[in-house]
Amino acid sequence: MDTRKRRRNRLIAAVCLTLLLLIILAICLGIIFRSENGASSSEVLKTTIISRCETYLQNNDPGSSESICNTLWMTFTKAFVGQDPCAVPPEAYNQLFQAINNYPSCNRTLFWSKTKAISHKYTQEKKCLETLEDTLLGNVMDGLTWCGKNNSNEIFTSGCPAWTECTMNPVRSFWDRSSGLIAEQTCGAATVMLNGSIPTPFDPNSTFGRIEAKRLKYPLVSGLTVVLVTQTNVTSCENDSLQNLQRVLDQSLTYSCKVVLQSQILDCISDPHMPCGKCW
């Protein structure tokens, strides 16, 4: 009887030990999972943003203080951490844009719609014009995803609402606010590259159509040049969508349009001796 009792006690002890080990394992896995999807993603995002910021400053403003990048990170996170990821309005980033004020000089702003690759290739190589993504904040945030959650201090870089899923998600609101501000700060002659290889080069629902074009105001902005980039020289500046663009613009602006082969722009980019004006 004593032997059976001892065996039973040993069995109970073994079962309890096994359960205890399983509980410990579950807790450890939970901590690891939480780290990978919460704190870890926050650290990765922070490292990426700080690194991009420092690289940008080294290349564009070597004498600036590195504290700018820490300020950028702190004011950036205040806009969305702890918030419903579908309830972050563009104005949530006001403090960020007040702290980091960086816009193209007069006559140097290049807008784009459905021409991101060629527009950025042009600005990066020729240095004549600047897109939003060539500014400090635009450069740092380009291609990144982020969001928070209600009553949480964590930052997420996956599982965030898609651009079209809700209109006030943190990423879309950031770009809407930055697009509005760069348009409002644009001065002198402005340029936009539109895709002339599609039926409607000007899309009123694009960022340029919804936000930027409407905010170009005379006399701060003197005029807008449309560069209609085509694969084959068939698109006309008389396209109906471009007529719609002209109706959206401030009627006091000078408007011009040029159809340009993409190959011509690429040739201009590759020739270091060709002046910017010859690209179109």
Tens digit of each residue's pLDDT (9 = 90 or more) over 46-101? 999 999 999 999 999 887 777 999 999 999 999 999 999 999 999 999 999 999 98
Which residue, chain included where needed, has tokens 């919460």? 38
Indicate whether 107 pLDDT > 90.
yes
Domain containing 240 equals 2-279
Name the band, by pLDDT with cuts 50, 70 and 90, for residue 8. Answer: low
Q: For residues 175, 95, 187 and 199, what is the CA-based torsion angle, rounded to 10 degrees?
A: 10
Radius of gyration of the chain (CA): 26
Q: What CATH code is carried by the domain that includes residue 17?
A: 1.20.82.10
Name the band, by pLDDT with cuts 50, 70 and 90, for residue 194. Answer: very high
Strands (E), 172-220: 188-195
3-state secondary structure of 251: coil
Rounded mean pLDDT, 155-178 = 95
Return all residues near 130 (Cβ < 8 A) that are at least 6 apart: 104, 108, 109, 110, 123
Q: Is the peptide bond between 104 and the residue preceding it cis, with omega within 30 degrees of 0?
A: no
- pLDDT score, position 62: 83
3-state secondary structure of 229: strand
Name the band, by pLDDT with cuts 50, 70 and 90, for residue 34. Answer: very low
- Cα(270)–Cα(101) distance, integer angstroms: 32
Rounded mean pLDDT, 22-30 = 47
Return all residues near 43 (Cβ < 8 A) that are at least 6 apart: none
Among residues 252, 226, 248, 247, the alpha carbon closest in space to that of 237 is found at 226
CB-CB neighbours of 173 under 10 Å: 21
Which residue, chain included where needed, has tokens 């020729």? 126
Q: How many domains does the chain have?
A: 1
Rounded mean pLDDT, 20-44 = 54
- pLDDT score, position 65: 74
Q: Which residues pair with 221 in a beta bridge?
A: 188
- pLDDT score, position 26: 46
Rounded mean pLDDT, 28-43 = 54
What's the one-letter identity of residue 225?
Answer: T
